[in-house]
């Protein structure tokens, strides 16, 4: 388990990779409004946790494990953002700022329950089937896919 601060670095790197095709220390520092030494310290911690491949002054790459965790972090943000914007009807900018703060403070269990609530209220679909933020799909939907593929 990594700190919430390292989660933010990982999320930022994932976004930068999707936007730019590569990840650079300078871009991370600029996007997160922090110093390059702070970024390097975070990169070394993420490397120690096998979430990135990185050598000083070298290329920064997310590992598969790092990419999966970054997706989970983004999904958690999206759940909170949708709740604030579409359920509580906050304006977009306020919902974005608040979602960042709230996501850092709540547990996976709370996010799971919030996701179920958001999906139910907005009538996306039912997540009473065992949704878990730690998986990209809910447990029941994954089982349906497996059964369908095995037929």
Question: How does pLDDT run across 18-50, given as a tens digit for each residue?
Answer: 988 889 999 999 999 999 999 999 999 999 999
SS3 at position 137:
coil
Q: What is the CATH number that goes with domain 4-62?
A: 1.10.10.10
Q: How does residue 142 score in pLDDT terms, banded at 50, 70 and 90? A: very low
The residue-averaged pLDDT of 98-117 equals: 85
User: Between these two residues, 150 and 105, which has the higher pLDDT value?
Assistant: 105
* Angle, vertex CA 60, rays to CA 56 and CA 62, nearest 5: 135
146 Cβ neighbours under 8 A, 6+ residues apart: none
Question: What pLDDT sits at residue 1?
Answer: 75
> How far is the C-alpha of 32 from the C-alpha of 46, rounded, in Å?
16
* 127 DSSP assignment: -
* Structural element, H or E, at residue 51: none
- Domain chopping of the chain, boundaries: 4-62, 72-150
In the chain, the percentage of residues whose pLDDT exceeds 90 is 40
Highest mean pLDDT among 50-64, 71-85, 127-141 belongs to: 50-64
In the chain, the percentage of residues whose pLDDT exceeds 70 is 81
Cross-strand bridge partners of residue 52 = 62
CATH class of 72-150: mainly alpha
Nearest to 71 by CA among 116, 4, 133: 133
* Angle, vertex CA 59, rays to CA 57 and CA 63, nearest 5: 130
4-62 matches 72-150 in fold:
no
């Amino acid at each position: 388990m990594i700190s919430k601060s390292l989660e933010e670095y990982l999320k930022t790197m994932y976004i930068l990779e999707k936007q730019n095709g590569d990840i650079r220390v300078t871009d991370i520092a600029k996007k997160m409004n922090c110093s390059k030494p702070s970024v390097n310290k975070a990169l070394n911690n993420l490397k120690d946790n096998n979430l990135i491949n990185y050598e000083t002054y070298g290329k920064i790459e997310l590992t598969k494990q790092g990419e999966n965790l970054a997706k989970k972090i983004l999904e958690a943000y999206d759940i909170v953002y949708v709740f604030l914007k579409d359920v509580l009807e906050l304006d977009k900018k306020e919902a974005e700022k608040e979602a960042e703060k709230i996501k850092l403070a709540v547990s996976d269990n709370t996010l799971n329950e919030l996701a179920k609530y958001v999906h139910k209220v907005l009538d996306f679909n039912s997540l009473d089937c065992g949704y878990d933020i730690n998986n990209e799909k809910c447990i029941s939907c994954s089982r349906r896919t497996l059964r369908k593929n095995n037929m």
